[in-house]
Structure 1
Amino acid sequence: MSLGKRTSAAVIWSFGEQLARRGVGIMVTLLLARFLVPEDFGLVAMMTVFLALGQSLMDSGFRQALIRLPEITETEYSTAFFANLVLGLVAYFILFAAAPAIAAFYEETRLIGLIRVASLAIIINSFQVVQVASLSRELNFKAQMQAGLPASIISGAIAVALAYLDFGVWALVVQTLLGAIIHTALLWWRHGWRPTNRFSLISAKGMYKFGYKLFFSQSLEILFQNIYPLVIAKLFTASTAGLYFFADRIRELVVSQFLHSIQAVTFPALAKKQSNPAELKDAYRRVIRVIMALYVPLVGGLILISPWLFELLFPDEWYPAHRYLQILSLAALLYPIHSLNLNILRVLGRSDILLTLQVLKKVVTTVVLATTAQIGIEAVLWGQVVQSLIFYFPNKYYSDRLIGYSFVEQFKDISLYYAASALIFAVSMWVVSQVGLGALLSLVLAFCVFSSLYICVILMLDKPLVSEVLKVVGKA
């Protein structure tokens, strides 16, 4: 199978693995809406950024450093394993000590216990970094899915049971810990690698030299990805923060999981072409067309059906979150392009440019958030749409400069999928408005019209791509 097809197939398996690892958790979150109020989700939103920063410290770029190495030895694997374990312990004790200060910032004492227990997952996850890196080098995301699915099902079922028994927000914490334990255990069971007593300070320094810039870049990304719930919880009400967090979690099921799959798969796949810019560009263009043909209608469909989805599934107090979801999804329409453009920098080892771009973007984010927060919550959401448009240009500049992939070429590669989705979205809304059905039938009708028209348009205008996607799905 060619690199483009192997990569596309790996995206499908990686997407399935992420649905297993996180998707079930999100579905559990949807069920918990029956037992929890928006304020409870706001409590979870308050600690999310700190747990994510701890996870980033534990990883410190070692996983991607392992993936990027052209040749790898047992010594390098073992070195990374022990380094991640030590960093995981450091991250946990930092969070343990900082918990009272975080609770004081939000004036919420319950955060102390929640953070100290939930952050144990960071130590547990440090035991799986090498296994995940090794499987990613092989593009073996099927094995990762087979480890993630049982972990997600078991931990999710227990979380629902605990929520039913009135454990409230602690059900989510227990789910996180159990999911980490089971997933790590299954990865160790399925993957034959075991650490040895070999440790090379030279190898550690080499990997860290690449990884530390990536760590700072990822930490900035995490901080500013989560700065919205952090600021919303501080400036607005806990209920508003909960609605935002809830909408973002639903978007995550469709958007963030696909994005993670793109990052996880394209980095090791394109890294194999890093020495040949022409082949790298050709593989990149094939990958981006397949991904955007699937992604854009997926997000467009989510924006389309979200009002009826909330009306059908959730209590009335959650309905305002559907508007949040629509705007957040609109902002996410360019995310895969951002991710793929930045992966070019990772593939070519330009973590220095990556860090510079992240700093630049965070300055823009700070300015936009500081401005929109003075207006209201909806202005804050639309600010994310503006940011996504602004971020495209510096990301695209470097992919053009490094591999010669121009704006005009990229526009030709992806414009069909955006134009088709936008037109069909409008047609679907018009059809539903003319019929006047209830929520369930409106949702079904909108979905059928949107999906069938999109497939017809792509079949007429881009038959080679449809054939390639079907072959990839069949072989995946």
Structure 2
Amino acid sequence: MNSTNTLRHKTITGIIWTFFEQTFRVGIQTITTIILAWFLLPEDFGLMAMITVFFAIANSLIDSGFSQALIRKKEVSQTDYSTAFYTNLVLGLLVYALLFASAPFIASFYDETRLIVLVRVVGLVVITNSFQLVQVADLTRKLNFKVQFKVTLPSAIFSGVVAVFMAAMGFGVWSLVAQMLISSFAATALYWIINKWRPSKDFSVESLHEMFGFGSKLLASGLIDTVFQNIYVIVIGKLFSVTLVGYYFFAQRIQQLVVKQLTGAVQKVTYPALSSVQDDNTALKAFYRKIIQIVAYIVFPCMIALAVLAKPLFSLMLKEDWLPAVPYLQLLCIAGLLYPLHAINLNILKVKGRSDLFLYLEIVKKLMIVIIILFSIQFGIFGILIGQIISSALAYIPNSYFSIKLINYSVPEQLHDFIPTLLLAVTMGVFMHYVGLVLPLGGFVYLLMIGLSGGVFYVLTNYLLKMQAQALLLQIIKEQYIKKA
């Protein structure tokens, strides 16, 4: 098997394992979140939402782009790994100390004293995560996602079971805290048990400088992106009640379980694979076009279906207390439609080593988001959500610009690769809506019938119209399994 076929085999195998990992983990997290919502108040989710941004920033700081730098490097030595490990560990301790000291100020910002102890306890996750970053980078470089599947699945199950038990016992927000801590601790322990990499005493200032030179710009852009991914929670938490923050955070959590996990599965696998052909623009472009088509084919109908099924889904599985979160979820699903395309376009910059452009692009987009928030905030929380949709649509313009420059992937070509799939997914959503109107209301069978009718309509219409994305996906499945059989 030549190197090209080997890379393709490893990449597709990696996608399959990552898909299983993401699917099972998302399923477990979704079930856990829904069960927790039966026992917890929107206020409990709101309290966790208020501190989420600070831990997302903390995790970006301890990584500092080193994992991306390790994955991208063509040759990585034990010294490189050890240098990154010790740096991550020191940064983890420093960042936790900073969080511990900042807890009163965070509580003061939201005028919520309960956040002080929450920040200081949940902050332990930062230290634990610093132990697993290099382990994950090592496995990702090897496209070994089977091991990562063996780590994340039991961690999600165990932490979910404990969280549900604590919620049922009346521990409130602390059940969510326990879920975060246990998931992180368990995953870290399993990575060190299963993966055989261990740090040596080697430490190189030269290696640190090289990795940080690339990673620092990704760090800066990652910090900016993290703040702005959570800026809506910050704004809602500051201007509205904890309960409204809880509605938004819960809806966002459900939306992200679908869009970010599905996109992340493909991103995680294709980044190291594409890095190995980073100097061949023709191969890079061809690979990226296939990725965009496949991701759009999967994510678009999922988001549209989730928006259509949001109300009957909440009515069936949650208490009435959560019904006000339905329109939040529907608007967030629309806002999340283009997220896969944003993420994949930005991956091109990392693959080509242009972390400087990555940072520049983040600054431009975030300034645009600030302007839209300042305008939309006067229309209340729904104005903010509609502004989020507008921001996502406008962000596609700068995101796609550098794909044109770096690999000659023009906007007409990009539109050709995903617009037909988007239109078909929207048509499927309209079909599902009218199917729901004629069916008897209520129950699991009602949800199942609408979902199945939408799925059959989507797949069948794709087949009849000979859509390229579905044909490409079927071709990959055929090559992987039918030929082997």
TM-score (norm 2): 0.94
Structure 2: 5+ residue runs without aligned partners? none
Structure 2 contact 46–244 (Cα < 8 Å) conserved: yes
The counterpart of 1:304, out of the listed 303, 308, 311, is: 308
Q: Cα distance, 1:147 vs. partner?
A: 0.8
Which digits, 9 at most, give the CA deviation of each residue in 1:360-388, with x for residues without a partner?
A: 11111111111111111111111111011
Structure 1 contact 421–454 (Cα < 8 Å) conserved: yes
Aligned counterpart, 1:189: 193
Q: Cα distance, 1:415 vs. partner?
A: 2.1
Q: Cα distance, 1:474 vs. partner?
A: 4.6
Corresponding position: 1:411 with 2:415: yes
5 Å-filtered alignment, 1:270-349, equals 270-349=274-353
The counterpart of 2:400, out of the listed 388, 396, 400, is: 396
Aligned counterpart, 1:69: 73
Aligned residues: 476
Aligned counterpart, 2:449: 445
Structure 1 contact 304–446 (Cα < 8 Å) conserved: no
Instruction: Identify if the C-alpha distance between structure 1 residues 19 and 53 changes in structure 2 by more than 3 Å, giving closer, same or farther.
Output: farther
Aligned counterpart, 2:101: 97
Quote the Cα distance in structure 2 between the aligned partners of 1:377 and 1:5: 47
Quote the Cα distance in structure 2 between the aligned partners of 1:22 and 1:85: 29
Q: Cα distance, 1:4 vs. partner?
A: 5.5
Corresponding position: 1:257 with 2:261: yes
Aligned counterpart, 1:464: 471
Aligned counterpart, 1:215: 219
Aligned counterpart, 1:112: 116
**SS where residue 131 of structure 2 aligns?**
helix
The counterpart of 1:50, out of the listed 30, 51, 54, is: 54
Instruction: Identify if the C-alpha distance between structure 1 residues 464 and 383 changes in structure 2 by more than 3 Å, giving closer, same or farther.
Output: same
Corresponding position: 1:431 with 2:435: yes
**SS where residue 373 of structure 1 aligns?**
helix
Provide the alpha-carbon RMSD of the alignment. Answer: 1.8
Structure 2 contact 95–126 (Cα < 8 Å) conserved: yes
Structure 1: 5+ residue runs without aligned partners? none
**SS where residue 172 of structure 2 aligns?**
coil
Q: Cα distance, 1:177 vs. partner?
A: 1.1
Structure 1 contact 266–340 (Cα < 8 Å) conserved: no
Quote the Cα distance in structure 2 between the aligned partners of 1:473 and 1:371: 50
**SS where residue 193 of structure 1 aligns?**
coil
Structure 2 contact 251–325 (Cα < 8 Å) conserved: yes
One-letter amino acid matched to 2:46: G
TM-score (norm 1): 0.96
5 Å-filtered alignment, 1:334-373, equals 334-373=338-377
Structure 1 contact 280–403 (Cα < 8 Å) conserved: yes
Q: Cα distance, 1:473 vs. partner?
A: 7.4
Instruction: Identify if the C-alpha distance between structure 1 residues 118 and 23 changes in structure 2 by more than 3 Å, giving closer, same or farther.
Output: farther
Identical residues among aligned pairs (%): 44
**SS where residue 139 of structure 1 aligns?**
coil
Structure 1 contact 373–379 (Cα < 8 Å) conserved: yes
Q: Cα distance, 1:143 vs. partner?
A: 1.1
Aligned counterpart, 1:205: 209
Aligned counterpart, 1:376: 380
Instruction: Identify if the C-alpha distance between structure 1 residues 45 and 75 changes in structure 2 by more than 3 Å, giving closer, same or farther.
Output: same
Quote the Cα distance in structure 1 between the aligned partners of 2:479 and 2:447: 29
Structure 2 contact 301–428 (Cα < 8 Å) conserved: no
**SS where residue 145 of structure 1 aligns?**
helix
One-letter amino acid matched to 1:468: Q
Corresponding position: 1:39 with 2:43: yes
Q: Cα distance, 1:9 vs. partner?
A: 4.1
